[in-house]
């Protein structure tokens, strides 16, 4: 085949030079699809020897599956030739002489030589670029995987951190609670010690008077007995009784307070016939009242209550003792009981010395004694105990008092 003839179609020397040295492969194809001329790069891309491509049908450079379609495409181009890129937006595949397929990019142009259409294909082998693109894509994918892994790791570390922080916070809270508990226990112990010290000093002071009264009355009884003075004997027996009562009540208070402080008082509720309960209180308390004093008791007969009789008794014992102690002889103490809306309301009313206004707000404080209590014996514990007993039963205590006229203490307890 005369190879110089087709090449001679490229008339201009400079153009020939460009054609030969272009870095893109160039194929010139005639209207029938035969390659008229190929530049060295085109030969190299497709794996052909020098000039071997001349006369080869263009479709031979395509994988078989595209050939039919390509013939139609070429015809279409021949009818309306215009310079453009081929296969825009999709990958084009070409076939090397050794049968290996490879990706290409192709631009088309055309020219007319001596009235005949010559189509020019500019071909770049983009295998390297594709490989690079794929490598990039792969590393991008790897990067995404790595980022996801990293995110997971960060997430799990964050969770672990949160857990550690939470654990630390819990530990701190627990430690604080333990510290507070310890502080509370210490405070309680300090209070108890203080209380014990005060008990001892009160006991030694409060016990002395009734004990010496007992002693002197006992020796006087001896004398009056020998002389047969019965009235005086009775009087001193009474004195001994009241001193012993006083001692008993102080001891009771100490005992109650001790138990309240330790929180060891159990509540034992039982069904009580109010009348029986009141009778027993009356029987127990009347002999302890001052000369001529008596209990006047109001209640609805037939009433029953569900309550702790031992605690109720302690409350009443204290309030009645006070009413008696802070009233003159021959006074009546009024006791009222009523059941209302599931509550037991009872009051102890006296017409005694009353409580000065300025002292009233301190009345339930431990060891508090009103300024007018003078030399009437007492420890200032009873009302504090009564209040705590009432609260233990879920109830309340209140009072009304006017100085010099008398006082009324009212307890309300749910039953």
Q: What is residue 414's DSSP assignment?
A: E
381 binds ligand ADP (CB under 6 A): yes
Stretch that binds ligand ADP, among 10-18, 177-185, 290-298, 352-360 (CB under 6 A): 352-360
H or E segment at 369?
A: none
From the list 190-198, 212-220, 261-269, 380-388, the region that binds ligand ADP by CB under 6 A is 380-388
Pick the closer one to ligand ADP by CB: 34 or 369.
Answer: 369
Per-residue binding string, ligand ADP, 77-116, x by CB under 6 A, is ----------------------------------------
Tell me whether residue 70 or residue 400 sits nearer to ligand ADP (CB atom).
400
Q: Closer to ligand ADP at the Cβ: 30 or 253?
A: 253
Residue 314 binds to ligand ADP (criterion: CB under 6 A): no
Residue 261 near residue 192 (C-beta atoms within 8 A): yes
Of residues 281, 271, 333, the one with CA closest to residue 304: 271
Name which of 384, 386, 267 is nearest 315 in CA terms.
Answer: 386
**Pairing assessment for the beta strands 294-298 and 332-340 based on DSSP bridges:** parallel
Q: Does 373 bind ligand ADP (CB under 6 A)?
A: yes
Q: Which stretch binds ligand ADP (CB under 6 A): 27-35, 158-166, 263-271, 375-383?
A: 375-383
Shortest Å, Cβ 415 to ligand ADP: 24
Least distance in Å: CB of 260 to ligand ADP? 13
322 binds ligand ADP (CB under 6 A): yes
Strands (E), 82-174: 84-85, 92-95, 101-113, 116-125
334 with 352: CB under 8 angstroms? no
Under the binding rule (CB under 6 A), the answer on residue 378 touching ligand ADP is: yes
d(CA 65, CA 60): 11
Which residue from 118, 320, 383, 413 is in contact with ligand ADP, where contact means CB under 6 A? 383
Tokens of residue 97, six digits = 């002489």
Q: How far is the CB of 262 from ligand ADP (least distance, A)?
A: 20
- Give me the least distance between CB of 402 and ligand ADP, in Å please: 10
Q: Which stretch binds ligand ADP (CB under 6 A): 87-95, 163-171, 269-277, 321-329?
A: 321-329
Spatial CA neighbour of 70 closest among 33, 121, 96, 27: 33
Reference 254, options 367, 334, 347; nearest CA is 367
- Sole window of 1-9, 58-66, 168-176, 318-326 interacting with ligand ADP (rule: CB under 6 A): 318-326
Of 370, 397, 411, 413, the one binding ligand ADP by CB under 6 A:
370
Q: How many CB atoms lie within 10 A of CB 370?
A: 21
3-state helix, strand, coil in the chain (%, to 5): 55, 20, 25
Q: Which is nearer to ligand ADP, 25 or 382 (CB)?
A: 382
Contact by Cβ (8 Å): 54, 3: yes
Q: Is 6 in the site for ligand ADP (CB under 6 A)?
A: no
Q: In whole angstroms, how close is the CB of 316 to ligand ADP at the nearest point?
A: 13
Contact window for ligand ADP (CB under 6 A) among 45-53, 178-186, 218-226, 361-369:
361-369
Say how far apart CA 238 and CA 220 lie, in whole Å.
13
Say how far apart CA 177 and CA 309 lie, in whole Å.
38
Find the part of the chain contacting ligand ADP (CB under 6 A) among 130-138, 151-159, 329-337, 371-379. 371-379
CB of 404 to ligand ADP, least distance (A): 10
Q: Map 258-322 to HEC letters.
A: HHHHHCCCCCCCEEEEHHHHHHHHHHHHHHHCCCCCEEEEECCCCCEEEECHHHHHHHHHHHHHH
Q: Do residues 324 and 313 make contact, with C-beta atoms less than 8 angstroms apart?
A: no
**Site pattern 183..212 for ligand ADP (x: CB under 6 A):** ------------------------------
Report the interhelical angle of 230-262 vs 382-392 (nearest 10°).
50
Choice between 206 and 229, CB closer to ligand ADP: 206
Interaction between residue 288 and ligand ADP (CB under 6 A)? no
Tally the residues of the chain: 415
Which spans of this chain sit near ligand ADP (rule: CB under 6 A)? 322-323, 326, 350, 352-355, 363, 368-370, 373, 378-384, 407
């Amino acid at each position: 085949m005369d190879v110089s003839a087709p090449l001679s179609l490229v008339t201009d020397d400079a153009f020939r030079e460009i054609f030969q040295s272009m870095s893109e492969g160039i194929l010139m194809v005639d209207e029938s699809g035969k390659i008229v001329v190929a530049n060295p790069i085109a030969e190299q891309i497709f794996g052909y020897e020098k000039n071997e491509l001349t006369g080869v049908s263009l479709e031979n450079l395509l994988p078989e599956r595209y050939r039919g379609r390509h013939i139609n495409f070429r015809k279409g181009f021949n009818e309306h030739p215009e310079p453009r890129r081929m296969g825009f937006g999709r990958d084009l595949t070409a076939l090397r002489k050794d049968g290996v397929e490879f990706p290409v990019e192709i631009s088309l142009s055309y020219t007319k030589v001596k009235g005949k259409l010559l189509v020019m294909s500019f071909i770049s082998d983009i295998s390297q670029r594709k490989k690079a693109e794929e490598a990039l894509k792969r590393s991008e994918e790897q990067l995404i995987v790595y980022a996801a892994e990293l995110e997971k790791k960060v997430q799990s570390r964050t969770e672990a951190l949160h857990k550690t922080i939470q654990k630390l916070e819990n530990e701190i809270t627990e430690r604080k609670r333990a510290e507070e508990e310890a502080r509370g226990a210490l405070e309680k112990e300090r209070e108890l010690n203080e209380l014990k010290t005060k008990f001892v000093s009160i006991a030694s002071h409060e016990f002395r008077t009734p004990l010496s009264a007992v002693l002197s009355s006992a020796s006087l009884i001896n004398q009056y007995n020998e002389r047969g003075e019965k009235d005086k004997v009775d009087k001193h027996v009474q004195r001994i009784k009241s001193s012993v009562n006083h001692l008993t009540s102080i001891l009771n208070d100490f005992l109650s307070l001790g138990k309240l402080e330790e929180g060891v008082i159990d509540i034992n509720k039982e069904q009580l016939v109010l009348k029986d309960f009141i009778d027993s209180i009356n029987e127990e308390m009347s002999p302890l009242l001052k000369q001529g004093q008596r209990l006047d008791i109001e209640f609805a007969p037939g009433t029953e209550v569900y309550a702790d009789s031992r605690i109720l008794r302690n409350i009443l014992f204290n309030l009645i003792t006070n009413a008696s102690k802070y009233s003159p002889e021959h006074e009546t103490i009024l006791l009222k009981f009523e059941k209302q809306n599931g509550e037991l309301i009872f009051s102890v009313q006296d017409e005694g010395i009353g409580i000065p206004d300025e002292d009233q707000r301190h009345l339930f404080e431990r060891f508090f004694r009103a300024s007018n209590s003078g030399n009437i014996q007492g420890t200032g514990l009873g009302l504090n105990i009564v209040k705590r007993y009432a609260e233990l039963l879920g109830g309340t205590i209140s009072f009304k008092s006017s100085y010099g006229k008398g006082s009324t203490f009212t307890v309300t307890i749910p039953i």
